Amino acid sequence: MISRSLARLALSVGLLARAVVAAQANPGWDPEGKFTGGAPMSGSGSAGNWNFMGGGGSSPVPKATVNFSGNQAPGTIIINTGERRLYYVLGNGQAIRYGIGVGRIGFTWAGVKTVSAKKEWPSWTPPAQMLRRRPDLPRFMKGGVDNPLGASAMYLGSTLYRIHGSNEPETIGQAVSSGCFRMTNDDVTDLYSRVRVGTKVIVLR
């Protein structure tokens, strides 16, 4: 009985030691393997290859390839705010449909923009208009899984609006933002890998 207890204790100590070594080799992780800050998830460094362990979750609106009628060129993004869906046009009558979170009442908009920049794990600086409404917000937040812009962001023209990831997957399909379009980290990573700077974005109410 004593020898079994000692064996279990030795095994536990060994596992803990291995976890500590892993944590030291990967700053931002604690011995239990939970992300606590620091560098983003382990991966190749490309948004298309990150292995998400949290902070993004699966979307309550699963991504799907659907039939799509229209004359928009392949590669065009169409955002249907009322439907709370984003379509990436593939051509040949098909598109990839993603669930998104959209602007709440008073913050919806429509128009045609282009993707002017792309950033992985972007930092966040709340605009002055938002700080006036929410003076409790931080003035700056570095990129990472706790950042509200998530794994990546695609900036729309010269506006303050973006298509970006989110650390709140439960808000997908809802009207909760200040005008940006949020996706789960998994979905925005997939879209990011397809989109180029200059991509046309049509926003419909």
- Span 149-169, pLDDT tens digits: 999 999 999 998 999 999 899
201: number of Cβ within 10 Å: 22
User: What pLDDT is attached to residue 138?
Assistant: 81
User: What pLDDT is attached to residue 137?
Assistant: 83
Computed over every residue of the chain, the mean pLDDT equals 78
Catalytic residue check, 89? no
User: What pLDDT is attached to residue 158?
Assistant: 94
User: What pLDDT is attached to residue 42?
Assistant: 29
What are 108-125's pLDDT values in tens digits?
Answer: 999 999 999 999 999 988
Is residue 18's pLDDT more than 70?
A: no
Q: Which of 63, 85, 164, 182 is catalytic?
A: 164
User: What pLDDT is attached to residue 56?
Assistant: 52
Q: Which of 89, 95, 115, 180 is catalytic?
A: 180
With cut-offs at 50, 70 and 90, classify the pLDDT of residue 99: very high
What are 20-74's pLDDT values in tens digits?
Answer: 333 333 332 222 222 222 223 323 233 333 333 334 567 889 999 999 998 999 9
Please state, for a pLDDT cut of 90, what percent of the chain lies above it: 55
The arithmetic mean of pLDDT across residues 182-198, rounded, is 97
Which residues on adjacent β-strands are paired with residue 111? 203
Catalytic residue check, 188? no
Distance CA 2, CA 171 (A): 52
What are 171-186's pLDDT values in tens digits?
Answer: 999 999 989 999 999 9
Strand order in the sheet with 200-204: 64-67, 94-99, 85-91, 77-80, 200-204, 111-120, 152-156, 162-164, 181-182
